[in-house]
Amino acid sequence: MTLTINNKKIKFKSGQTILEVATANGFAIPTLCYHSDLKVQANCRLCVVEIEGHDHLETACSTLALEGMKIITDSPRIREARRLNLELIFSEHEEKCVDCLRRFDCDLLKYAREYQANISRFTDRKKKRKTYCFSKAVEIDGGQCIDCKACLEACQTVQKINYLEIRGSGVDQEIVPTEDRDRACIYCGQCTLYCPAASAQEQSAVAAVEAALADKQKIVIAQFAPSLSISLREEFSSLNSENCEGKIKSALKQLGFDYVFDTGFGTDIASMLAAEELLKRLKDKQAVFPLITSSCPAWISYVEFYHPELLPHLSTIRSPHIQSAGMIKTYWAKKNNLNPRNIVLVSIGPCTAEKHESIRPELFVNGRPLLDQVLTIRELVFLIKKNRLDFSKLPKNDSADLFNGSGAAVIYGTPGGIMESVLHTATALSGAQKKNKISNNRLEFKTVRGLTGFKEAVVNLQGKRWRVGVVNGIANIEYVLPHLKKYHYLEVRSCPDACVGGGGQVIPTTKEIKKKRMAELYRIGKKRSIRWASENKAMLAYYNWVKEHKLEKKLLYTKFKRI
């Protein structure tokens, strides 16, 4: 099928929208409310184009391409409509550019420049709107919201949490948290991943981190998730992931962090403990099945609120970045004669729920939180850009740290990554290493009942067959709950495609981009000098130290409670 765009003949497939055809052929069309993974909204009216024979403009995002269509994507008439719609959008968006996390990547400003929109033609209408804060994790700033409804789609359709709602009509329309007391935010931050206007976003810890960095009395330490290198590679293009990791360390040092750690170390502790816990349960005839992973803090919030009856199923092991934080503030601090009270520990990862997790009192050690601040990847990118660090030219910091994580820790951020790491370690621990399939091959999962968000496999451990499953995205949990009894071990990840699509990931995050991230994580995971958690000697040394000092309860395990 063919049509013309700006007088150029173009082939397309039936079912494609004008926007898809145009983008695939290099015609740039501005969009704000559009996201390739979400239902088309067509409410920002920026992607308007001319179609011959139509008496008004049409939105490219919502109009199907048809045989013989003659489309114009840029003309004075189109530019005028886009300019006006931008000016109207800006009248709803209070410019808080000075410390806005999206400042360096703001689409609104980019288009305002492109279409010479007068961003203050109309007075800011929403200045008095409330900001809704959800724990320490996520916020919806009503004063910046442009009513595109991407966050609603994320909360209602993608996650099926239905915590955000739209209320009112016309200019009184507002995105608000529900008043339904049977619903709660799980802090997954998917809304923040899709918001084009920095209205739904993480509650920023940037100012607090900057203050700590400026404080000469404090030892400021960063620990970052191994998947960061993949995401920063997208932000600062033309880098390979291997170089990127070294550059992140340099960047953090230049920003003023005194020490930099790999959160992967904590991931290895978690894998090791999870493997032990799994083996113990498999031996115990009275044990509760399935055992369900507890590494995902949004999943924990979900269980506590929506399904407290599942609490006995949850693994009692602290999540990876809490594990490494515990190590740094006790074992490492002691070895280096540092007072943990002088340490400001900052965890950086693709997650907004970890911000909430960091203030959970049950994870405190000696009455204080282990993690002093949690930054999303976006907040780190903001710090790098704000401090004008030329990331691609930064030296590679290859300082061989003692506290690195294994390759298994690298793939932990992918759906199924926990399962793979834990099962491998469990196999190693049960001594069946060489003969067992799992130790050498990737797990063979199959998709269940056509659900892309759930897959299962049967594994051999200790001479028996066990059924395991991976829930990819919290929306899929409802399908799995009625069949729980079938399984022995379940991995649950709240964000679609796990941490690779985490609420704190870089923007844009799309299905295509996530696929690339996963492939890249698997590639560099294999290249790590330590492949599996069970081979991480530094981790094993730390584990022994904890056992010697009988600090297991304090540092390694946790309890969950009904909310």
Partner 1 sequence: MPKKLRKKNKRRNILELITEAGLVGRGGASFPVAKKWKLVKEALKTRKVAYIVVNGAEGEPGVEKDAYILKNYPEEVINGVYLANQFLGNQKIKKIYFFLNHSYWEKYLVQLQKVLSQRKYQSLAKKIIFTAKSKDLLYISGEETALLNYLEGRKIEPRLKPPYPTEQGLFNAPTLVNNVETFHDVSLVGRGKFDDKRFYSINGAVRQRGVFRLPATLTIEDVLRQTDNIPDFPFFVQVGGEAAGEVLNSDQLERPIEDAGAITVYDLEHTDKNKLLSHWLNFFAAQSCGNCVTCREGTYRLAELVKQKNHDQKVFTDLLTNLAESSFCALGRSLPFTIKSYYINILKKKI
Chain positions contacting partner 1, by CB under 8 A: 40, 42-45, 48, 56-57, 59, 62, 64, 77, 80-81, 84-85, 88-89, 91-92, 121-122, 125, 146-147, 166, 168-173
Neighbours of 423 (CB within 10 A): 26
CB of 175 or CB of 333, closer to partner 1: 175
To partner 1, the closest distance from the beta carbon of 81 in angstroms equals 5
To partner 1, the closest distance from the beta carbon of 175 in angstroms equals 11
Residues composing the chain: 563
Nearest in space to 111 (alpha carbons), one of 44, 61, 49, 19: 44
CB of 32 or CB of 381, closer to partner 1: 32
Side chain identity at 381, as an amino acid letter?
V
To partner 1, the closest distance from the beta carbon of 145 in angstroms equals 12
Name the H helices within 9-121.
18-24, 76-90, 107-114
To partner 1, the closest distance from the beta carbon of 82 in angstroms equals 8
d(CA 467, CA 421): 16
To partner 1, the closest distance from the beta carbon of 180 in angstroms equals 14
To partner 1, the closest distance from the beta carbon of 37 in angstroms equals 17
CB of 19 or CB of 375, closer to partner 1: 19
d(CA 458, CA 468): 6
To partner 1, the closest distance from the beta carbon of 101 in angstroms equals 23
* Whether 64 contacts 49, CB under 8 Å: no
CB of 42 or CB of 353, closer to partner 1: 42
CB of 59 or CB of 421, closer to partner 1: 59
CB of 41 or CB of 267, closer to partner 1: 41
CB of 46 or CB of 325, closer to partner 1: 46
3-class secondary structure per residue, 196-218: CCCCEEECCCHHHHHHHHHCCCC
Nearest in space to 346 (alpha carbons), one of 298, 397, 311, 383: 383
CB of 97 or CB of 171, closer to partner 1: 171
d(CA 106, CA 385): 13
Side chain identity at 542, as an amino acid letter?
Y
To partner 1, the closest distance from the beta carbon of 92 in angstroms equals 7
CB of 171 or CB of 519, closer to partner 1: 171
Phi and psi (nearest 5°) for 506? Answer: -70, 155
3-class secondary structure per residue, 118-132: CCCCCCCCCCCCCEE
d(CA 136, CA 184): 14
**What tokens appear for 146 in the block?**
């442009």
To partner 1, the closest distance from the beta carbon of 83 in angstroms equals 9
**What tokens appear for 98 in the block?**
């000075």
Neighbours of 45 (CB within 10 A): 18
CB of 120 or CB of 342, closer to partner 1: 120
Nearest in space to 313 (alpha carbons), one of 491, 551, 494, 553: 491
Neighbours of 397 (CB within 10 A): 17
Side chain identity at 480, as an amino acid letter?
V
* Residue 99: DSSP 8-state: G
To partner 1, the closest distance from the beta carbon of 364 in angstroms equals 43
